[in-house]
Structure 1
Amino acid sequence: MAGIFQAVSMAMAAAALSGGFAVPASAAAFRSEYTVSYLGLTIARSHFESTFDGNRFKVSGSMSSAGIAQIFDDTKGTVTARGRFAGAGPLPDDFVTNYTSGDKKKKTQIGFAGGNVSKVVNIPPLKKRGRDWVKVADADLRAVTDPLSGTLIRADSAEKVCGRTVKMFDGEMRANLVLDYVSKGPVSLPGYSGEAVTCRARFVPVAGYKKGHRSIEYLKNRSKIAISFAPIGTTGVYAPVRATVGTQIGTITIEARKFEAVN
Protein backbone atom coordinates (compact mmCIF):
# COMPACT_ATOMS: atom_id res chain seq x y z
CA MET A 1 0.00 0.00 0.00
CA ALA A 2 2.90 2.37 0.55
CA GLY A 3 3.48 2.54 -3.21
CA ILE A 4 -0.08 3.47 -4.11
CA PHE A 5 0.55 7.16 -4.69
CA GLN A 6 3.57 6.50 -6.87
CA ALA A 7 1.43 4.11 -8.91
CA VAL A 8 -1.45 6.57 -9.10
CA SER A 9 0.85 9.33 -10.33
CA MET A 10 2.34 7.06 -12.98
CA ALA A 11 -1.08 5.71 -13.95
CA MET A 12 -2.58 9.15 -14.37
CA ALA A 13 0.29 10.21 -16.56
CA ALA A 14 -0.04 7.03 -18.58
CA ALA A 15 -3.74 7.65 -19.02
CA ALA A 16 -3.25 11.32 -19.85
CA LEU A 17 -5.17 11.98 -16.66
CA SER A 18 -2.74 13.63 -14.35
CA GLY A 19 -4.90 16.70 -14.47
CA GLY A 20 -8.37 18.05 -15.01
CA PHE A 21 -10.55 17.93 -18.07
CA ALA A 22 -11.45 21.12 -19.83
CA VAL A 23 -14.19 22.41 -22.10
CA PRO A 24 -14.34 24.26 -25.40
CA ALA A 25 -14.61 27.91 -26.19
CA SER A 26 -18.43 27.86 -26.21
CA ALA A 27 -18.53 27.67 -22.40
CA ALA A 28 -17.24 30.45 -20.16
CA ALA A 29 -16.48 28.17 -17.23
CA PHE A 30 -16.64 24.53 -16.25
CA ARG A 31 -16.26 22.56 -13.03
CA SER A 32 -15.39 18.88 -12.62
CA GLU A 33 -14.74 16.52 -9.74
CA TYR A 34 -12.99 13.14 -9.84
CA THR A 35 -12.21 10.26 -7.50
CA VAL A 36 -9.24 7.91 -7.68
CA SER A 37 -9.98 4.45 -6.28
CA TYR A 38 -8.05 1.25 -5.63
CA LEU A 39 -9.78 -2.08 -4.91
CA GLY A 40 -13.06 -0.15 -4.72
CA LEU A 41 -11.77 2.22 -2.02
CA THR A 42 -11.33 5.95 -2.63
CA ILE A 43 -7.69 7.00 -2.17
CA ALA A 44 -7.75 10.49 -3.70
CA ARG A 45 -10.10 13.24 -4.84
CA SER A 46 -9.56 16.03 -7.34
CA HIS A 47 -11.37 19.24 -8.30
CA PHE A 48 -10.87 21.28 -11.48
CA GLU A 49 -12.08 24.58 -12.90
CA SER A 50 -11.66 25.71 -16.50
CA THR A 51 -12.18 29.07 -18.16
CA PHE A 52 -12.19 29.97 -21.86
CA ASP A 53 -11.93 33.06 -24.01
CA GLY A 54 -12.23 32.28 -27.71
CA ASN A 55 -9.66 29.58 -28.44
CA ARG A 56 -7.73 30.33 -25.26
CA PHE A 57 -8.05 28.03 -22.24
CA LYS A 58 -6.91 27.84 -18.64
CA VAL A 59 -7.36 24.81 -16.42
CA SER A 60 -6.60 24.77 -12.67
CA GLY A 61 -7.04 21.90 -10.28
CA SER A 62 -6.13 20.27 -7.00
CA MET A 63 -5.75 16.71 -5.75
CA SER A 64 -5.49 15.34 -2.22
CA SER A 65 -5.36 12.00 -0.44
CA ALA A 66 -8.60 10.57 0.93
CA GLY A 67 -10.01 7.55 2.74
CA ILE A 68 -7.54 4.80 3.68
CA ALA A 69 -4.69 6.67 1.96
CA GLN A 70 -4.72 9.20 4.79
CA ILE A 71 -2.98 6.69 7.06
CA PHE A 72 0.18 7.43 5.04
CA ASP A 73 1.83 10.82 4.50
CA ASP A 74 -0.67 13.55 3.72
CA THR A 75 -0.50 14.05 -0.03
CA LYS A 76 -1.81 17.01 -1.99
CA GLY A 77 -1.01 19.04 -5.07
CA THR A 78 -2.13 21.72 -7.52
CA VAL A 79 -1.77 22.02 -11.27
CA THR A 80 -2.41 24.74 -13.86
CA ALA A 81 -2.18 24.71 -17.65
CA ARG A 82 -2.75 27.51 -20.16
CA GLY A 83 -2.78 27.53 -23.93
CA ARG A 84 -4.96 27.61 -27.03
CA PHE A 85 -6.70 25.22 -29.39
CA ALA A 86 -5.22 24.57 -32.84
CA GLY A 87 -6.72 21.91 -35.08
CA ALA A 88 -7.49 18.63 -33.33
CA GLY A 89 -5.49 19.37 -30.21
CA PRO A 90 -4.14 22.00 -27.84
CA LEU A 91 -1.01 24.12 -28.06
CA PRO A 92 0.03 24.73 -24.43
CA ASP A 93 1.79 27.91 -23.30
CA ASP A 94 2.77 26.85 -19.80
CA PHE A 95 2.20 24.14 -17.22
CA VAL A 96 2.88 24.37 -13.47
CA THR A 97 2.40 21.73 -10.81
CA ASN A 98 3.15 21.80 -7.08
CA TYR A 99 3.15 18.55 -5.12
CA THR A 100 3.57 17.88 -1.39
CA SER A 101 3.81 14.49 0.32
CA GLY A 102 4.61 14.67 4.01
CA ASP A 103 7.59 17.02 4.31
CA LYS A 104 8.65 16.56 0.66
CA LYS A 105 7.77 19.32 -1.78
CA LYS A 106 8.21 19.47 -5.54
CA LYS A 107 7.45 22.06 -8.20
CA THR A 108 7.62 21.64 -11.97
CA GLN A 109 7.19 24.41 -14.52
CA ILE A 110 7.20 23.84 -18.28
CA GLY A 111 7.13 26.58 -20.93
CA PHE A 112 6.12 25.94 -24.54
CA ALA A 113 6.60 27.79 -27.83
CA GLY A 114 4.87 26.66 -31.01
CA GLY A 115 4.14 23.22 -29.59
CA ASN A 116 7.75 22.64 -28.48
CA VAL A 117 9.15 22.70 -24.95
CA SER A 118 11.11 25.92 -24.44
CA LYS A 119 11.81 25.82 -20.68
CA VAL A 120 11.79 23.29 -17.86
CA VAL A 121 12.26 24.09 -14.16
CA ASN A 122 12.20 21.43 -11.45
CA ILE A 123 12.45 22.40 -7.76
CA PRO A 124 14.34 20.67 -6.26
CA PRO A 125 16.49 19.86 -9.30
CA LEU A 126 16.24 16.34 -10.69
CA LYS A 127 18.73 13.87 -9.24
CA LYS A 128 21.74 12.77 -11.23
CA ARG A 129 20.86 9.61 -13.13
CA GLY A 130 22.88 6.49 -13.84
CA ARG A 131 24.01 4.90 -17.09
CA ASP A 132 20.74 2.95 -17.35
CA TRP A 133 18.73 6.19 -17.63
CA VAL A 134 17.15 6.98 -21.02
CA LYS A 135 17.99 10.66 -21.52
CA VAL A 136 15.55 13.14 -23.01
CA ALA A 137 16.88 14.52 -26.30
CA ASP A 138 15.94 17.86 -27.86
CA ALA A 139 14.01 16.02 -30.59
CA ASP A 140 11.84 14.37 -27.91
CA LEU A 141 10.52 17.78 -26.81
CA ARG A 142 9.06 18.82 -30.16
CA ALA A 143 5.33 18.70 -30.94
CA VAL A 144 4.37 17.66 -27.40
CA THR A 145 1.89 18.69 -24.71
CA ASP A 146 1.85 18.58 -20.93
CA PRO A 147 -0.27 15.83 -19.28
CA LEU A 148 -3.08 18.26 -18.46
CA SER A 149 -3.47 19.91 -21.88
CA GLY A 150 -3.08 16.47 -23.45
CA THR A 151 -6.57 15.51 -22.25
CA LEU A 152 -8.18 17.98 -24.70
CA ILE A 153 -9.29 16.33 -27.93
CA ARG A 154 -11.19 17.84 -30.86
CA ALA A 155 -12.92 15.40 -33.23
CA ASP A 156 -15.67 15.42 -35.87
CA SER A 157 -17.26 12.31 -34.35
CA ALA A 158 -16.90 9.99 -31.36
CA GLU A 159 -15.15 7.36 -33.50
CA LYS A 160 -12.42 9.87 -34.38
CA VAL A 161 -11.54 10.61 -30.74
CA CYS A 162 -9.46 7.45 -30.73
CA GLY A 163 -7.02 6.47 -33.47
CA ARG A 164 -4.39 9.00 -32.43
CA THR A 165 -1.18 9.31 -30.41
CA VAL A 166 -0.93 11.79 -27.52
CA LYS A 167 2.66 12.93 -26.93
CA MET A 168 3.29 14.08 -23.35
CA PHE A 169 6.11 15.53 -21.25
CA ASP A 170 5.72 16.04 -17.49
CA GLY A 171 9.04 17.75 -16.76
CA GLU A 172 11.04 14.53 -16.53
CA MET A 173 9.41 11.69 -18.46
CA ARG A 174 8.52 11.83 -22.13
CA ALA A 175 5.88 9.27 -23.13
CA ASN A 176 3.28 8.54 -25.80
CA LEU A 177 -0.26 7.31 -25.30
CA VAL A 178 -1.59 5.45 -28.34
CA LEU A 179 -5.42 5.46 -28.47
CA ASP A 180 -7.49 2.88 -30.37
CA TYR A 181 -11.28 2.74 -30.67
CA VAL A 182 -13.17 0.14 -28.59
CA SER A 183 -16.86 1.03 -28.27
CA LYS A 184 -19.57 3.60 -27.62
CA GLY A 185 -22.19 3.61 -24.88
CA PRO A 186 -24.36 5.75 -22.59
CA VAL A 187 -23.06 7.55 -19.50
CA SER A 188 -24.86 9.64 -16.90
CA LEU A 189 -23.44 11.86 -14.15
CA PRO A 190 -24.23 15.29 -12.66
CA GLY A 191 -23.89 17.79 -15.49
CA TYR A 192 -23.86 15.30 -18.37
CA SER A 193 -26.06 12.50 -19.71
CA GLY A 194 -25.39 11.04 -23.13
CA GLU A 195 -22.95 9.00 -25.18
CA ALA A 196 -19.32 8.30 -24.38
CA VAL A 197 -16.63 6.68 -26.49
CA THR A 198 -14.10 4.28 -24.99
CA CYS A 199 -10.53 4.02 -26.26
CA ARG A 200 -7.96 1.37 -25.50
CA ALA A 201 -4.71 3.11 -24.55
CA ARG A 202 -1.17 1.81 -24.94
CA PHE A 203 1.59 3.43 -22.89
CA VAL A 204 4.89 3.92 -24.73
CA PRO A 205 7.82 5.37 -22.74
CA VAL A 206 10.12 7.48 -24.92
CA ALA A 207 12.71 9.01 -22.59
CA GLY A 208 13.25 10.23 -19.04
CA TYR A 209 13.02 6.84 -17.33
CA LYS A 210 15.20 4.02 -16.05
CA LYS A 211 15.68 1.07 -18.39
CA GLY A 212 14.08 -2.06 -17.00
CA HIS A 213 12.13 -0.24 -14.26
CA ARG A 214 9.44 -2.72 -13.21
CA SER A 215 6.57 -0.24 -13.04
CA ILE A 216 7.43 1.22 -16.45
CA GLU A 217 7.82 -2.22 -17.99
CA TYR A 218 4.46 -3.28 -16.57
CA LEU A 219 2.68 -0.22 -17.96
CA LYS A 220 4.37 -0.71 -21.32
CA ASN A 221 3.92 -4.44 -21.78
CA ARG A 222 1.16 -5.72 -19.52
CA SER A 223 -1.10 -2.89 -18.37
CA LYS A 224 -4.66 -2.74 -19.63
CA ILE A 225 -5.68 0.92 -19.97
CA ALA A 226 -9.12 2.15 -21.05
CA ILE A 227 -10.33 5.77 -21.23
CA SER A 228 -13.90 6.92 -21.85
CA PHE A 229 -14.46 10.36 -23.40
CA ALA A 230 -17.69 12.40 -23.45
CA PRO A 231 -18.52 15.31 -25.77
CA ILE A 232 -18.97 18.81 -24.40
CA GLY A 233 -22.04 20.31 -26.03
CA THR A 234 -21.91 20.42 -29.84
CA THR A 235 -18.45 21.97 -30.14
CA GLY A 236 -16.54 18.81 -31.09
CA VAL A 237 -14.33 18.76 -27.98
CA TYR A 238 -14.21 15.54 -25.96
CA ALA A 239 -13.00 15.10 -22.38
CA PRO A 240 -12.35 11.97 -20.24
CA VAL A 241 -15.03 10.90 -17.78
CA ARG A 242 -13.56 7.56 -16.72
CA ALA A 243 -10.27 5.64 -16.92
CA THR A 244 -9.00 2.31 -15.65
CA VAL A 245 -5.28 1.58 -15.50
CA GLY A 246 -3.72 -1.76 -14.62
CA THR A 247 -0.66 -1.42 -12.36
CA GLN A 248 1.55 -3.85 -10.45
CA ILE A 249 -0.50 -3.34 -7.30
CA GLY A 250 -3.89 -3.65 -9.01
CA THR A 251 -6.31 -1.59 -11.09
CA ILE A 252 -6.54 2.15 -10.49
CA THR A 253 -9.88 3.74 -11.46
CA ILE A 254 -10.30 7.46 -12.11
CA GLU A 255 -13.92 8.53 -12.46
CA ALA A 256 -15.81 11.79 -12.87
CA ARG A 257 -18.37 12.53 -10.14
CA LYS A 258 -19.37 15.92 -11.54
CA PHE A 259 -19.01 17.33 -15.05
CA GLU A 260 -20.92 20.57 -15.38
CA ALA A 261 -20.93 24.08 -16.79
CA VAL A 262 -20.78 26.99 -14.35
CA ASN A 263 -23.31 29.79 -14.86
Structure 2
Amino acid sequence: MIRAAAVLAGLGVLTTAAQAETVRTRYGISLIGLPFGTATVSGTLEPQAYKIELQMKLTGLASILSGSKGAATATGALPGNHVSPTTYATTSSSGDITRTVRMSMVNNNVDQSEITPPWDPFPDRVPVTEADRRAIVDPMSALIMTVPGTGPVIGPAACERTIPVFDGAARFDVVLAFVGTRKVKTKGYAGDVAVCSVRYHPVAGHRANRPGTKFMADNKDMEAWLAPIGQSRIVVPYRISVATMIGTVVVEANQFEVSAGPQATVQAH
Protein backbone atom coordinates (compact mmCIF):
# COMPACT_ATOMS: atom_id res chain seq x y z
CA MET A 1 0.00 0.00 0.00
CA ILE A 2 2.78 2.46 0.91
CA ARG A 3 4.65 1.71 -2.32
CA ALA A 4 1.51 2.20 -4.42
CA ALA A 5 0.58 5.40 -2.62
CA ALA A 6 3.99 6.85 -3.19
CA VAL A 7 3.59 6.29 -6.91
CA LEU A 8 -0.04 7.37 -7.06
CA ALA A 9 0.21 10.40 -4.82
CA GLY A 10 3.62 11.49 -6.03
CA LEU A 11 3.65 15.12 -7.22
CA GLY A 12 5.02 16.11 -10.64
CA VAL A 13 6.15 19.74 -10.87
CA LEU A 14 8.45 21.90 -12.98
CA THR A 15 8.89 25.57 -13.64
CA THR A 16 10.30 27.26 -16.73
CA ALA A 17 10.12 30.72 -15.23
CA ALA A 18 13.18 32.52 -13.82
CA GLN A 19 12.00 32.06 -10.24
CA ALA A 20 11.35 29.29 -7.78
CA GLU A 21 7.91 27.89 -7.06
CA THR A 22 6.70 26.11 -3.96
CA VAL A 23 3.82 23.69 -4.33
CA ARG A 24 1.95 21.97 -1.50
CA THR A 25 -0.91 19.58 -2.20
CA ARG A 26 -3.04 17.83 0.38
CA TYR A 27 -4.88 14.64 -0.50
CA GLY A 28 -7.58 12.59 1.15
CA ILE A 29 -7.43 8.81 0.73
CA SER A 30 -10.56 6.67 0.77
CA LEU A 31 -11.30 2.96 0.38
CA ILE A 32 -14.73 1.93 -0.95
CA GLY A 33 -15.91 5.46 -0.17
CA LEU A 34 -14.74 5.48 3.46
CA PRO A 35 -11.99 7.83 4.75
CA PHE A 36 -8.79 5.86 4.96
CA GLY A 37 -5.84 8.26 5.24
CA THR A 38 -4.20 11.50 4.21
CA ALA A 39 -1.16 12.47 2.16
CA THR A 40 0.72 15.74 1.80
CA VAL A 41 3.10 16.32 -1.09
CA SER A 42 5.29 19.42 -1.17
CA GLY A 43 7.78 20.51 -3.77
CA THR A 44 10.38 23.23 -4.28
CA LEU A 45 10.99 23.90 -7.96
CA GLU A 46 13.64 25.87 -9.76
CA PRO A 47 14.36 26.19 -13.48
CA GLN A 48 16.96 23.39 -13.32
CA ALA A 49 16.19 21.43 -10.14
CA TYR A 50 13.45 20.00 -7.94
CA LYS A 51 12.88 18.51 -4.51
CA ILE A 52 9.70 16.61 -3.65
CA GLU A 53 8.56 15.28 -0.28
CA LEU A 54 5.64 13.01 0.66
CA GLN A 55 4.09 12.31 4.05
CA MET A 56 1.30 9.72 4.27
CA LYS A 57 -0.58 8.15 7.15
CA LEU A 58 -3.70 6.12 7.70
CA THR A 59 -6.45 7.57 9.87
CA GLY A 60 -9.41 6.37 11.93
CA LEU A 61 -10.03 2.64 12.17
CA ALA A 62 -7.44 1.95 9.47
CA SER A 63 -4.68 3.39 11.64
CA ILE A 64 -5.75 1.21 14.56
CA LEU A 65 -5.80 -1.96 12.48
CA SER A 66 -2.52 -1.53 10.61
CA GLY A 67 -0.65 1.52 11.87
CA SER A 68 0.76 2.08 8.36
CA LYS A 69 2.54 5.32 7.54
CA GLY A 70 5.20 6.40 5.14
CA ALA A 71 7.43 9.19 3.91
CA ALA A 72 9.45 9.71 0.75
CA THR A 73 11.68 12.33 -0.80
CA ALA A 74 13.35 12.81 -4.17
CA THR A 75 15.69 15.34 -5.75
CA GLY A 76 16.83 15.81 -9.28
CA ALA A 77 17.68 18.08 -12.17
CA LEU A 78 15.50 19.33 -14.99
CA PRO A 79 17.62 19.72 -18.12
CA GLY A 80 15.12 21.04 -20.64
CA ASN A 81 11.96 18.94 -20.51
CA HIS A 82 13.85 15.89 -19.29
CA VAL A 83 13.49 14.61 -15.72
CA SER A 84 16.82 13.40 -14.32
CA PRO A 85 16.48 12.21 -10.68
CA THR A 86 19.53 12.10 -8.46
CA THR A 87 18.31 10.82 -5.07
CA TYR A 88 15.32 8.91 -3.74
CA ALA A 89 14.55 7.69 -0.24
CA THR A 90 11.46 6.25 1.38
CA THR A 91 10.55 4.79 4.75
CA SER A 92 7.35 2.81 5.34
CA SER A 93 6.03 1.23 8.52
CA SER A 94 3.30 -1.36 8.88
CA GLY A 95 2.78 -3.25 12.11
CA ASP A 96 6.20 -4.08 13.54
CA ILE A 97 8.11 -3.79 10.24
CA THR A 98 9.84 -0.63 9.05
CA ARG A 99 11.54 -0.72 5.66
CA THR A 100 13.86 1.91 4.19
CA VAL A 101 14.84 2.30 0.53
CA ARG A 102 17.62 4.60 -0.69
CA MET A 103 18.81 5.16 -4.24
CA SER A 104 21.18 7.44 -6.09
CA MET A 105 20.96 7.92 -9.84
CA VAL A 106 23.12 9.37 -12.61
CA ASN A 107 21.72 10.12 -16.06
CA ASN A 108 18.55 8.14 -15.19
CA ASN A 109 20.60 5.06 -14.34
CA VAL A 110 20.75 3.63 -10.81
CA ASP A 111 24.19 4.21 -9.33
CA GLN A 112 23.60 2.77 -5.84
CA SER A 113 20.60 1.30 -4.04
CA GLU A 114 19.90 -0.19 -0.63
CA ILE A 115 16.82 -1.79 0.95
CA THR A 116 16.73 -2.42 4.70
CA PRO A 117 15.54 -5.03 5.53
CA PRO A 118 15.65 -6.64 2.06
CA TRP A 119 12.59 -8.23 0.53
CA ASP A 120 12.29 -11.97 1.02
CA PRO A 121 13.85 -13.97 -1.88
CA PHE A 122 10.75 -15.89 -2.96
CA PRO A 123 11.44 -18.32 -5.84
CA ASP A 124 8.80 -16.71 -8.06
CA ARG A 125 10.34 -13.23 -7.75
CA VAL A 126 11.47 -12.12 -11.23
CA PRO A 127 15.19 -11.21 -11.12
CA VAL A 128 16.15 -7.56 -11.66
CA THR A 129 18.92 -7.23 -14.25
CA GLU A 130 21.33 -4.37 -14.73
CA ALA A 131 19.32 -3.34 -17.79
CA ASP A 132 16.22 -2.95 -15.57
CA ARG A 133 18.09 -0.34 -13.53
CA ARG A 134 18.80 1.88 -16.54
CA ALA A 135 16.70 4.61 -18.20
CA ILE A 136 14.33 4.84 -15.23
CA VAL A 137 12.80 7.32 -12.81
CA ASP A 138 12.06 6.76 -9.13
CA PRO A 139 8.46 6.65 -7.85
CA MET A 140 8.44 10.23 -6.54
CA SER A 141 9.88 11.61 -9.78
CA ALA A 142 7.71 9.30 -11.89
CA LEU A 143 4.85 11.76 -12.25
CA ILE A 144 6.87 14.85 -13.08
CA MET A 145 5.07 15.47 -16.33
CA THR A 146 5.77 18.27 -18.74
CA VAL A 147 3.26 18.66 -21.57
CA PRO A 148 5.01 18.79 -24.93
CA GLY A 149 4.10 21.09 -27.82
CA THR A 150 2.24 24.37 -27.82
CA GLY A 151 -1.35 23.10 -27.76
CA PRO A 152 -3.68 22.96 -24.77
CA VAL A 153 -2.03 21.80 -21.56
CA ILE A 154 -5.22 19.96 -20.56
CA GLY A 155 -5.75 17.62 -23.47
CA PRO A 156 -4.37 14.41 -25.01
CA ALA A 157 -0.73 15.53 -24.68
CA ALA A 158 -1.07 15.61 -20.88
CA CYS A 159 -1.70 11.87 -20.74
CA GLU A 160 -0.06 10.07 -23.62
CA ARG A 161 3.13 8.62 -22.09
CA THR A 162 4.79 5.51 -20.65
CA ILE A 163 6.73 6.05 -17.42
CA PRO A 164 9.57 3.57 -16.64
CA VAL A 165 9.70 3.26 -12.84
CA PHE A 166 12.20 1.53 -10.55
CA ASP A 167 11.50 1.68 -6.80
CA GLY A 168 14.69 0.00 -5.60
CA ALA A 169 13.19 -3.50 -5.76
CA ALA A 170 10.79 -3.67 -8.70
CA ARG A 171 10.83 -2.33 -12.25
CA PHE A 172 7.46 -1.56 -13.87
CA ASP A 173 5.88 0.68 -16.50
CA VAL A 174 2.99 3.04 -15.82
CA VAL A 175 1.12 3.62 -19.09
CA LEU A 176 -1.23 6.60 -19.41
CA ALA A 177 -3.75 7.25 -22.20
CA PHE A 178 -6.14 10.17 -22.72
CA VAL A 179 -9.82 9.60 -21.92
CA GLY A 180 -11.26 13.12 -21.79
CA THR A 181 -11.56 16.20 -19.61
CA ARG A 182 -13.62 17.15 -16.56
CA LYS A 183 -14.28 20.28 -14.53
CA VAL A 184 -13.29 20.15 -10.85
CA LYS A 185 -13.10 22.53 -7.91
CA THR A 186 -11.10 22.41 -4.69
CA LYS A 187 -9.35 24.93 -2.47
CA GLY A 188 -6.69 26.54 -4.63
CA TYR A 189 -7.88 25.25 -8.01
CA ALA A 190 -11.04 25.32 -10.11
CA GLY A 191 -11.00 24.34 -13.76
CA ASP A 192 -10.42 21.52 -16.19
CA VAL A 193 -8.42 18.35 -15.57
CA ALA A 194 -7.22 15.77 -18.06
CA VAL A 195 -8.61 12.30 -17.38
CA CYS A 196 -6.15 9.49 -18.17
CA SER A 197 -6.57 5.75 -18.05
CA VAL A 198 -3.70 4.01 -16.25
CA ARG A 199 -2.23 0.57 -16.78
CA TYR A 200 0.44 -1.23 -14.74
CA HIS A 201 2.95 -3.42 -16.57
CA PRO A 202 5.35 -5.39 -14.30
CA VAL A 203 8.84 -5.87 -15.73
CA ALA A 204 11.07 -7.29 -12.96
CA GLY A 205 11.32 -7.60 -9.20
CA HIS A 206 7.68 -8.65 -8.80
CA ARG A 207 6.40 -12.04 -7.67
CA ALA A 208 5.09 -13.63 -10.85
CA ASN A 209 2.75 -16.11 -9.13
CA ARG A 210 1.23 -13.73 -6.62
CA PRO A 211 -2.51 -13.13 -7.21
CA GLY A 212 -2.12 -9.42 -6.58
CA THR A 213 0.46 -9.12 -9.36
CA LYS A 214 -1.86 -10.69 -11.92
CA PHE A 215 -4.79 -8.62 -10.67
CA MET A 216 -2.91 -5.34 -11.11
CA ALA A 217 -1.46 -6.33 -14.49
CA ASP A 218 -4.98 -7.10 -15.74
CA ASN A 219 -6.54 -4.09 -13.99
CA LYS A 220 -8.35 -1.74 -16.37
CA ASP A 221 -10.11 0.17 -13.60
CA MET A 222 -7.47 2.81 -12.88
CA GLU A 223 -7.56 6.53 -13.66
CA ALA A 224 -5.48 9.64 -13.05
CA TRP A 225 -6.89 13.17 -13.26
CA LEU A 226 -4.19 15.73 -14.01
CA ALA A 227 -4.42 19.44 -13.18
CA PRO A 228 -2.11 22.24 -14.42
CA ILE A 229 0.27 24.09 -12.12
CA GLY A 230 0.68 27.84 -12.57
CA GLN A 231 1.52 29.13 -16.03
CA SER A 232 4.03 26.40 -16.87
CA ARG A 233 3.21 23.43 -19.07
CA ILE A 234 3.07 21.10 -16.09
CA VAL A 235 0.34 18.76 -14.84
CA VAL A 236 0.08 17.12 -11.43
CA PRO A 237 -2.25 14.49 -9.98
CA TYR A 238 -5.58 15.86 -8.83
CA ARG A 239 -7.29 12.51 -8.36
CA ILE A 240 -6.16 8.88 -8.62
CA SER A 241 -8.54 5.93 -8.47
CA VAL A 242 -7.38 2.30 -8.41
CA ALA A 243 -9.47 -0.84 -8.14
CA THR A 244 -7.81 -3.25 -5.68
CA MET A 245 -8.69 -6.75 -4.52
CA ILE A 246 -10.45 -5.27 -1.48
CA GLY A 247 -12.18 -2.31 -3.15
CA THR A 248 -11.44 0.94 -4.94
CA VAL A 249 -8.85 3.30 -3.45
CA VAL A 250 -9.23 6.99 -4.29
CA VAL A 251 -6.58 9.63 -3.66
CA GLU A 252 -8.07 13.09 -4.26
CA ALA A 253 -6.74 16.59 -3.69
CA ASN A 254 -8.57 18.79 -1.23
CA GLN A 255 -6.11 21.68 -1.38
CA PHE A 256 -3.55 23.13 -3.81
CA GLU A 257 -1.11 25.82 -2.69
CA VAL A 258 1.22 27.34 -5.29
CA SER A 259 3.50 30.27 -4.48
CA ALA A 260 6.25 31.92 -6.49
CA GLY A 261 9.14 33.95 -5.20
CA PRO A 262 12.84 34.68 -5.54
CA GLN A 263 14.91 31.76 -6.71
CA ALA A 264 15.64 29.42 -3.83
CA THR A 265 18.37 26.83 -3.53
CA VAL A 266 17.43 23.22 -4.21
CA GLN A 267 20.24 20.82 -3.48
CA ALA A 268 20.21 17.82 -5.84
CA HIS A 269 22.77 15.32 -4.51
**TM score, norm. by length of structure 1:** 0.90
Of structures 1 and 2, the one scoring higher in RCO (CA 8 A, sep 6+) is 2
% identical aligned pairs = 30
Tell me which residue corresponds to 1:201: 198
- 2-side partners of 1:124 and 1:78: how far apart? 16
1:22 is the counterpart of 2:13: yes
Amino acid at match of 1:205: P
Give the alignment partner of residue 145 of structure 1, picking from 125, 137, 145.
137
Tell me which residue corresponds to 2:239: 242
Tell me which residue corresponds to 2:125: 133
Give CA-to-partner distance per residue, 1:193-228, whole Å, 9 cap, x none. 121101111110000011121111011113411101
Give the alignment partner of residue 40 of structure 1, picking from 17, 22, 33.
33
| C-alpha distance 67-223 of structure 1, shift in aligned 2 (>3 A) | farther
- 2-side partners of 1:245 and 1:210: how far apart? 20
- Where in structure 1 are there 5+ consecutive unaligned residues? 1-7
SS of the residue aligned with 1:171? coil
Tell me which residue corresponds to 2:219: 222
- 2-side partners of 1:113 and 1:187: how far apart? 38
- 1-side partners of 2:29 and 2:3: how far apart? 13
SS of the residue aligned with 1:72? helix
SS of the residue aligned with 2:224? strand
SS of the residue aligned with 1:134? coil
Amino acid at match of 2:49: R
Give CA-to-partner distance per residue, 1:61-108, whole Å, 9 cap, x none. 211111220221322121100002234442110100011223211110
- 1-side partners of 2:3 and 2:54: how far apart? 18
Amino acid at match of 1:67: G
Give CA-to-partner distance per residue, 1:142-179, whole Å, 9 cap, x none. 11101111111001333211121011011111100111
Amino acid at match of 1:179: L
**TM score, norm. by length of structure 2:** 0.88
Q: CA RMSD in A?
A: 1.7
Tell me the matched-pair count: 253
Amino acid at match of 2:194: V
- 2-side partners of 1:10 and 1:92: how far apart? 18
**Contact 1:147–1:169 under 8 Å retained in 2:** yes
Extract structure 1 runs of 4+ deviating beyond 6 A.
Answer: none
Alignment of 1:71-90 (within 5 A): 71-90=64-83
Give the alignment partner of residue 188 of structure 1, picking from 170, 180, 185.
185
| C-alpha distance 34-191 of structure 1, shift in aligned 2 (>3 A) | same
SS of the residue aligned with 1:12? helix
**Contact 2:14–2:232 under 8 Å retained in 1:** no
Give the alignment partner of residue 251 of structure 2, picking from 225, 249, 254.
254
- 2-side partners of 1:18 and 1:258: how far apart? 13
- 2-side partners of 1:42 and 1:89: how far apart? 36
Tell me which residue corresponds to 1:31: 24
**Contact 1:41–1:67 under 8 Å retained in 2:** no
Give CA-to-partner distance per residue, 1:224-250, whole Å, 9 cap, x none. 111010111221011110011111111
Shift of 1:23: 4.7
1:165 is the counterpart of 2:162: yes
Tell me which residue corresponds to 2:146: 154
Shift of 1:49: 1.6
- 2-side partners of 1:199 and 1:110: how far apart? 29
SS of the residue aligned with 1:86? coil
1:177 is the counterpart of 2:169: no
